[in-house]
Amino acid sequence: MTGGGRGLGRAIALALAAEGLAVAVAARSLDQLESTAREVRGRGGSALDVPLDVTDPASIATALATVAARLGPVDVLVNNAGIAESAPFSKTTPEMWARHLDINATGPYRLTRAVLSGMLERGWGRVVNIASMAGLHGAPYVAAYTASKHALVGLIHELAYELAPAVRVNGVAPGPIETDLRGPAALGMADRSIGSIDLSTNAAPNVPLGKVPATADYAGGYVFLASRRDARPATGAVLNLDSGIGVRGIGRTAGGARLAAKYAPDQG
């Protein structure tokens, strides 16, 4: 799985390992990768930490060769690596736009293509992608992020149709997460870490469920979609786990209001 060194990725790695899967934890941050892999092994699971940059085809090839040699073929791919940066559309530079598409949409494309032939040969595979509530509803002041996640959702739908029945392709669309990721996962506050705000005070007016879920609360959705047994009917699904945010509208959360206050005075 990509983006496995911290936050949601770490929680997913632990949850998959608890179900008996040998987990290859991949990301650019080596110290975080090693920490996650050690924790998996400390709980009795099997894990391998693998350096990987989803924007670099050579890095992907090297990482997958290492995984194949150490753990065997990839049966379940979790595309979790992603970035989220905020700016008014008028200040969304070509570089920002390209960066989001490269990591959030093209990264999963590259990884899926790299493992697909093996899955098809074996007649079985699961691809689980991290989508976003912004990929379903849109969100203010994160045009590049929103577009990249809509692209990913489109890829999920297309591949589900094309690769069925052998390979099931699905996604999870998380809402706010109690993690250190910056961006829409932090209720749209790209300039603040979700870990630095008082969630108990801010959660109730922002989240209909009244609580910002921890990373472990989301991991079960990935385990479900990776399952050989439980998720047999699921392909092309984007599991919406936004804690009810989408019902209210992302722009009406406190995070959306903060971004509006930050950017609205200066749209140019």
Per-residue pLDDT of 87-104, as tens digits, reads: 999 999 999 999 999 999
What is the rounded distance in angstroms from the CA atom of residue 192 to the CA atom of residue 152? 25
Distinct helix (H) and strand (E) counts, the chain: 11, 6
What is the rounded distance in angstroms from the CA atom of residue 213 to the CA atom of residue 42? 25
Active site residue 222: no
Burial class (CB in 10 A: 0-12, 13-18, 19+), 126: buried
Higher-pLDDT residue of 167 and 210 is 167
Q: How confident is the model at residue 189 (pLDDT cuts 50, 70, 90)?
A: very low
Region 166-180 average pLDDT: 82
CB atoms within 10 A of CB 20: 8
Q: How confident is the model at residue 244 (pLDDT cuts 50, 70, 90)?
A: confident
Region 140-158 average pLDDT: 95
pLDDT for residue 92: 96
Whole-angstrom CA distances from 84 to 67, 100, 110, 223 are 28, 7, 19, 24
Least confident of 100-104, 143-147, 217-221: 217-221
pLDDT tens digits, one per residue of 35-69: 999 999 999 999 999 999 999 999 999 999 999 99
The rounded Cα 231 to chain-centroid distance in angstroms is: 19
Q: How confident is the model at residue 241 (pLDDT cuts 50, 70, 90)?
A: confident
Given the residues 141, 145, 218, 222, the one annotated as active site: 145
Cβ distance 83 to 103 under 8 Å? Answer: yes
Least confident of 1-15, 70-84, 187-201: 187-201
What is the rounded distance in angstroms from the CA atom of residue 150 to the CA atom of residue 90? 20
Region 141-167 average pLDDT: 96
Q: How many residues does the chain have?
A: 268
The runs of H, that is alpha helices, within the chain are 7-18, 30-42, 57-70, 94-100, 107-122, 134-137, 143-163, 199-206, 215-226, 245-248, 254-263
Answer yes or no: is pLDDT of 268 > 60.
no
Tokens 């989803």 correspond to what residue?
Answer: 54
Exposed e or buried b for every residue in 230-248, given b needs 16+ CB within 10 A?
Answer: ebeebbbbbbbbbbebbee
Higher-pLDDT residue of 10 and 186 is 10
Q: How confident is the model at residue 249 (pLDDT cuts 50, 70, 90)?
A: low
Average pLDDT, the chain: 84
Higher-pLDDT residue of 183 and 228 is 228
Domains belonging to the chain, first-starting first, are 80-263 (3.40.50.720)
pLDDT for residue 199: 38
78 in helix, strand or coil? strand
pLDDT for residue 246: 65
Burial class (CB in 10 A: 0-12, 13-18, 19+), 219: buried
